[in-house]
Amino acid sequence: MSTNGFVSLVGAGPGDPDLLTLKALRRLQEADVVVFDRLVSNAIMALVPAGVSRISVGKSPGNHCVPQAQINTVIVNLALAGRRVVRLKGGDPCIFGRGGEEALVLRKHGIPFEFVPGITAASGCSSYAGIPLTHRGLSHGVQFVTGHRRDGEELALDWNKLADPDCTLVIYMGLANADYICAQLLRAGLAAGTPAVAIQDGSQAGQRKVFASLADLADRISTAGLGAPVTLIVGRVVALAAQLDWFDANAAGQTGEN
């Protein structure tokens, strides 16, 4: 099916607009319509030119206000009408962003598209917390998983594989299940004293951080009252933040629990 429309599946990064790629910014400036998620920051949406249509399809944990099938329909219909569509997603569209699913729907309808990668939450949030994801002698690899349960199903992860003291573990969307995640990692053999951190709104002016041992992380999150979006990082590299945490010191108005 031919169409004059085009869809750019664009990663907005973790929130700081300065972390947008040049290509992502260019696509926003060229768009006829921007279909955006809840995790796209207000500062990034402020870069969308006046007069460009904006459609929010934001979803929050436990409140999927726009079903994925409906989002697919919106994007397809806009493109078939000849619009230049930017499908704007927090982080990277292909890392727990369902970008691949949306691209398959576009391909099915013969709609041309592109992926514009963004800085994923693991990289953005860790960097702005002073945590290198790998470091000689501390971590030789990184594992990315999602802590979100689908429709109330059990969080089916290979806990024995994830409980690797020589790797850094990053859990996306893990706030609601932080207690369960920490308990499973401990049960799988990861040391109770393993350094861990929960980061809310990473890279943004309102960034908050809670550092703790793995055994205490869930309780500390609850006490601090963190709210989504939260990224969890577990591993020995987290301890480096005590020396490398640059953002709190440099950014005016920054808050955090250390």
Residues that are catalytic:
37, 59
Residue entry with tokens 């009252």: 225
Closest CA to 58 of 48, 50, 49, 68: 68
**For residue 182, what are the contacts with CB-CB under 8 A and spacing of at least 6?**
196, 214, 215, 217, 218
Closest CA to 117 of 151, 90, 92: 92
Strands of the sheet with 208-213, listed across from one edge: 142-146, 168-172, 230-234, 195-200, 208-213
Residues in the chain: 258
Hey, what are 49's tokens?
A: 């030119």
CA distance 37 to 41: 9
